[in-house]
Structures are given as C-alpha cells and as structure tokens.
Amino acid sequence: MTNELKEIIDNAEKLKFFAFYGISKKLFDSLGDEIQTIVDCCCGNSFLGWHWLVNDNSLNVLAVDNRVTNRFREVNQYFKQNFPNLSEKHSFIERDVSKIIFPESSLVVALHACGNLTDIIIEKCVDKRLPFAVMPCCPNSRRIWWKDKSIYFEGSLSRYIDNLRLEYMQKNGYAAKFELIDENITPMNRIILARPRK
C-alpha cells in the first residue's frame, strides 16, 4: 500500500481485510470460471471490493451499503485515480442490502455484516443459489434463526447463532463450513464459506 492509502486505512483494518480476502479467495478459486461479479455487501469504505478488482481485473465488483462515508469517498478516489482502467468495473449502490438483487454468476462477500444483515445476505444467496463468504458480527437474541428463544445453550451466543445458520444452509442444499482468522486481528473472527451443492 502506498503512504497515501495508509493514511486512509489503518494497519489493524488492513490486516482484517487481507485475512478475510485470503480465506474468501479459497472459495472463489474452487468455483472455477463461473464467477463474474463480486458483490461486496456492507462495503463500508469499499477497500475489500477494490482489492478483489486490483488482484483480478477480469471481474466486476458491485459494492453495496446504505450510506456513503468520507472514508468511502477517500478510498474510491484513491483507486479511481491510481487504477483508472478499473473504474468502470467497480460500481456502488447506496441502498439497504435487503433491497438489492444480486447478479447471476456472483460471489457475495460481507466483512462484518452487523446483526441480522448476515441473515438477510444468507437468505438472499440461498434463494438465488449463489456462493458466499460472510464474517458475521454483533450477535444478539433478536434473530430470525432462533427456533426457541428460551433454549439453553452452552458457549458464546455468536457460535450458537452461527451453528443455526450452518444448519439452515445445509438443509437448503449448501455445502458450508467455518474458517477462522487470527483472533488477534478481530475477536469476531469466524467466516462462513458456503456454496450450493451440485
């Protein structure tokens, strides 16, 4: 990264992006040539989508978030100035992810999709039979995944909810698993990797 970009994205955030990218790229590589678009949900500053594009300019990237931040503007300005040939391949929609129609032949990614945004993304992907890599965060008990809100569980709430998500995906014809990044990078370090079974 150049000094200019380092001033926009701090080291801790950079480590999180790169760790998530490294694991989600494994899923991408296993899909062969079927993926044409990376859908970067809850994109925040949009660095993740641009990083995909810089590393594979055969792709298109659709970044989605419900608001535009100053960091988003700074990151986009940096990449458009330094990679002008990629500008037309990166698009952004300012809208709630629940209202987005994911393109066919997409891999959907979401780094720290907060609360029930993770569940919305999973349901939309399952409905369209799309592969996805999602790192959930901000778990709470107001979940569409709870079968019985009075149920007793051992361990962390986030692990319990993610196990329900895994069960949901498997019942809907998905091969799904968890992978972890270093918890020193982020305590919410569990990534769900999922693809439709053939």
Q: Which residues of the chain form beta strands (DSSP E)?
A: 37-41, 60-65, 90-94, 106-114, 132-137, 174-180, 190-196
Whole-model pTM over 0.75: yes
Question: Is the Cβ–Cβ distance between 46 and 115 less than 8 Å?
Answer: no
Q: In what order do the strands lie in the sheet with 37-41?
A: 90-94, 60-65, 37-41, 106-114, 132-137, 190-196, 174-180
The Cα 59–Cα 106 span in angstroms is 10
Report which residue type is found at 57: N
What are the tens digits of pLDDT across the range 171-191?
999 999 999 999 999 888 999
Lowest mean pLDDT among 8-17, 21-30, 112-121: 8-17
Q: Please determine, for residue 162, whether its predicted confidence score (pLDDT) is greater than 90.
A: no
**Third-level CATH fold of 3-196:** Rossmann fold (3.40.50)
The Cα 115–Cα 102 span in angstroms is 20
Domains of the chain, by residue range, sit at 3-196
Would you state the structure tokens that stand for residue 29, as one six-digit string? 């590589």
What are the tens digits of pLDDT across the range 13-25?
889 999 999 999 9
Q: Give the DSSP letter string of 121-148.
A: HHHHHHHHT--EEEEEE---S--TT-S-
